Amino acid sequence: MKKPDLSPLVPPGVNGATEVHWTLIGVGLSAAAGLLGFLFRLNQHCRSARWDLEATGIPGEIGTFRVILDGNLFCFALVNLAMAGMLLYHIDLHYRGSRSIYLMRRLPQRWELLRRCAALPLLGLLCSVLVWGLLQPLLFWMYLTIPPRSFLPPLYEGGFWAALSRGGFLC
Amino acid sequence: MVSFDRFTITGESPIYLQILRYVQRGIVAGTIADGEELPSRRVLSALLGVNPNTVQKAFRLLEEEGLAVSHPGAKSYVTFTTEQLSAIRIQLTEDSARRAVTAMREMGVSLEEAEALLRRLWKEELP
Amino acid sequence: MLTLQDVQKTYHFSAPALQGVSFSLGPGEIVGLFGENGAGKTTLMKCILGLLSYNGTVTLDGEPVTRKNIERFSYATCEHSFFPRLTPEAHREFYAAHFPKFRHKRFDALMDFFELPLRREAGRLSTGQQNQLEVVLALSQGADYILMDEPFAGNDVFNREDFYKVLLGILEPEETVLLSTHLIEEVERFVSRAVLLRKGKVVGDRTAAALEEEGKTLMEYVKETYHYRADRVLRALDRLSGEEEKP
C-alpha cells in the first residue's frame, strides 16, 4: 500500500508520519498494558478464589468485571492528554521562529489552519477512544471464559449474551 | 537608446526637472541624437530608483517642449531641430552664467575681477 | 481602491493604538507609511488584513475584507510570516497551492536576483536573506495590494537600493504598495505618496507631486509635521557640557 501523503493534515514542516507512528504506538501500548493489567488482576482474583476452595471446600468469588478492570485502562487517558498536547504544539509552531500564523490566517481557505492543527490530534483521540471501546467487550469475553465457571459471581451465569443483558458488563 | 549612465540625481531641484535638463544638455553636447530612442518609463524608473510618476512627468515635459514624441503604448523618441538645439544652448548657457554671476556677486566680486577671471579660465584646458 | 474609514483599535489595558484613521489607497500607488515607534503602523496593517479586530470599516472596492478577497492582499513583515522549517522551494509550492494567482516567473526572477538558496530551510537563512524571502513571497503571491511592514530591518544599504530599483521595475500599474519604514530619505524618491501617522492618527498625507509643487523634500515635510526641533540636539549638548564644566 502506498504511503498516504499526510502533509495537508499537519502544519507545514511537521512530519505527520512520525506523529501517527508514535500515536499508534501509544494506543497499542495502552491496549497492551490494559490487557496485561486486566489478566494479571484476573489471575490474582482466581488464585485467591482457589485458596478459598482448598481451605473451605467452597469456591470463592472473584470480583465483578469492573472491579477487575478498574484503572487498567488508565494509559488511554494519557494518550488523550498527549493528543491535547499535540494540538497545542501544532498551534504553537505558528509562533516559533516567525509568525507563520499571519500567513495561515490570510489564506483564502477558511479551514486550513484548523485542519492542519487539529486533524491528527482528533484522529488520534478517535483511535484511542475506539480501541478503548473495542477492548472492553474483548476483556469482558475473557472475563467470562478464562476463570472456572464456579468462580464467577452469579450475575454472570448463562454465557456472554445472558450476562450482558443482565448488565454484567457495567458492574 | 539614450543612456542615463552618467545621470546622477542631486537634491537641487525636482527630479523631473533634472531629467529634462539632462536630456537638454545631452542634445546640446551632441551625445543625444535626433530620433534616438528613450528608455521606457518603467525601465528608467527602475534604473534611477524613482517613482514612475516622476519619469512620466519628465517625459510629458519633454513632449511639451517639443523635444520628445511618443505614442500611447509605444516607445518614445527624442526629437529636435537645429533651431531648438540653438535655443536650448542659449538657454542653458544663460542659466549657467546667471548662476555663476549670482554666486560671484554674493561673494562681492567686482565686474573687473569677474572679467579677468573669465579670460584666465577661458585659456585653461577643458577637463 | 482600499478605503479605511475611522479605524480605531485599542488593545486591552492600553492607550488607543489607532484613533480614527481614514484614508484611501488607489491602484498603482506606492505609499510610504511613516511614523515613530508605536505610532500604529503595524497595528494599522494588521487591521487592514483582518489579523486584528477593530472598530470602523476597511473596504476593498466597496466590499469588506473577507476570505473572498483576502488573496488580493499580501503581507511582508519584519516579524516574518514564512515557515522556518520549509525551504523557499516548498514555500513556492504552498503559495501556489493556496493562491491561484501566484506569479511563478516573478518568484524565479527575484530568487535569482537575491541569490537565495532554493533548498535551504527558511529558518536557517541569514536575517537579511529571510527579509528578502519574506518580500519575494509577498511580491509573488499575485496580490494587487502589497503591504510591507518595515521589511528591511537588518539589510544593508546596497541590498535595499537594489531592491527599490527591482521593485520599480517589476511592479505593474495596477499593483499598489503600502510600505512602512523609518528610512524616509531612502524611499523618498520611489514613493508617490506619504502618509504620516502619529499616536494612532493621520497627521499628514501628501503626494510626492504636491510636495514637489511646494518645493519641499519629504524629510522637510516630515520634520515640520512632527514639529521636529532641530535645535534639540544642540540644546541637549549645551546642557551636558554646562554640567560637566561645574567644578
pLDDT per position as a tens digit, A18-67: 999 999 999 999 999 999 999 999 999 999 888 888 888 887 888 888 88
Q: What is the DSSP string of B19-85?
A: HHHHHHHHHHHTSS-TTPEEPPHHHHHHHHT--HHHHHHHHHHHHHTTSEEE-TTS-EEE---HHHH
Cα–Cα distance measured from residue C58 to residue C30, given in angstroms and rounded to the nearest whole number: 19
Predicted TM-score of the model (pTM): 0.84
pLDDT per position as a tens digit, C202-235: 999 999 989 888 888 888 898 888 877 667 777 7
Interchain proximity C67–A110, CB inside 8 Å: yes
- Asked if residue A103 lies in contact with residue C50, where contact means CB atoms within 8 angstroms, the answer is no
Residue of C nearest to B56 (CA): C209
Q: Which of C170, C189, C212 sits opposite B49 (nearest CB)?
A: C189
Candidates C106, C160, C162, C168, partner chain B, best to mutate (most B CBs within 10 A): C168
pLDDT per position as a tens digit, C16-54: 899 999 999 989 999 999 998 888 999 999 999 999 999
Domains annotated on chain C, with CATH: 2-244 (3.40.50.300)
Banded model confidence at residue C107, pLDDT cuts 50, 70, 90 = very high
List the strands of the sheet with B68-70, edge to edge. B37-38, B76-78, B68-70
Banded model confidence at residue B122, pLDDT cuts 50, 70, 90 = confident
**Mean pLDDT for the stretch of residues C233-246:** 72
Task: Report pLDDT for C230.
Answer: 66
Domain positions in chain B are 15-80, 83-123
Of B90, A163, A110, nearest to C50 by C-alpha is A110
Pull the grid cell for residue C220.
Answer: 522637510
Q: Alpha carbon of C102 to those of B97, C12, C71, C72, C172: distances in Å?
A: 56, 37, 10, 11, 15
Task: Report pLDDT for C159.
Answer: 78
Give whichever of C142-146, C189-193, C206-210 has the largest mean pLDDT: C142-146
Angle ∠(A43,A47,A51) on CA atoms, nearest 5: 170
| Architecture of the B15-80 domain | Orthogonal Bundle (1.10)
The interface predicted TM-score (ipTM) is: 0.89
Kindly provide the b/e burial profile for residues B73-91, where b requires at least 16 CB atoms within 10 angstroms of the residue's own CB. eeebebbbeeebbeebeee
Interchain proximity B51–C189, CB inside 8 Å: yes
Of C33, C79, C74, C39, nearest to C201 by C-alpha is C39
- Asked if residue C151 lies in contact with residue C4, where contact means CB atoms within 8 angstroms, the answer is no
Q: Touching check for A110 and chain C: CB below 8 Å?
A: yes
**Mean pLDDT for the stretch of residues A120-148:** 93
User: Do β-strands B68-70 and B76-78 pair in parallel, antiparallel, or remain unpaired?
Assistant: antiparallel
Collect all residues of chain C within an 8 Å Cβ-Cβ radius of residue B15: 189
pLDDT per position as a tens digit, B38-56: 998 889 999 998 999 999 9
**Mean pLDDT for the stretch of residues B67-84:** 86
pLDDT above 90: percentage of residues in chain A: 58
Task: Report pLDDT for C229.
Answer: 67
Banded model confidence at residue C240, pLDDT cuts 50, 70, 90 = confident
Q: Do chains A and B touch (3 or more CB pairs under 8 A)?
A: no
Collect all residues of chain B within an 8 Å Cβ-Cβ radius of residue C169: 42-43, 45-46
Interface of C with A (CB under 8 A): 49-51, 67-68, 70-71, 73, 75, 77, 79-86, 90, 94, 98-99, 122-123, 130
Q: Which of A56-70, B91-105, C96-110, C123-137 has the lowest mean pLDDT?
A: A56-70
Is the pLDDT at C244 greater than 90? The verdict is: no
Q: Which of C49, C83, C130 sits opposite A100 (nearest CB)?
A: C83
Banded model confidence at residue C102, pLDDT cuts 50, 70, 90 = very high
H/E stretch holding C180: strand C176-180
When the pLDDT of each residue in chain B is averaged and rounded to a whole number, the result is 89
Phi/psi for C230 (5° steps) reads -60, -25
Banded model confidence at residue C15, pLDDT cuts 50, 70, 90 = confident
Task: Report pLDDT for A1.
Answer: 57
Q: Which of A126-130, A163-167, B75-79 has the lowest mean pLDDT?
A: A163-167
Interchain proximity A99–C80, CB inside 8 Å: yes
Is the pLDDT at B126 greater than 80? The verdict is: no
Q: Compare C190 and C101 and report the one with higher pLDDT.
A: C101
Task: Report pLDDT for C234.
Answer: 74
When the pLDDT of each residue in chain C is averaged and rounded to a whole number, the result is 90
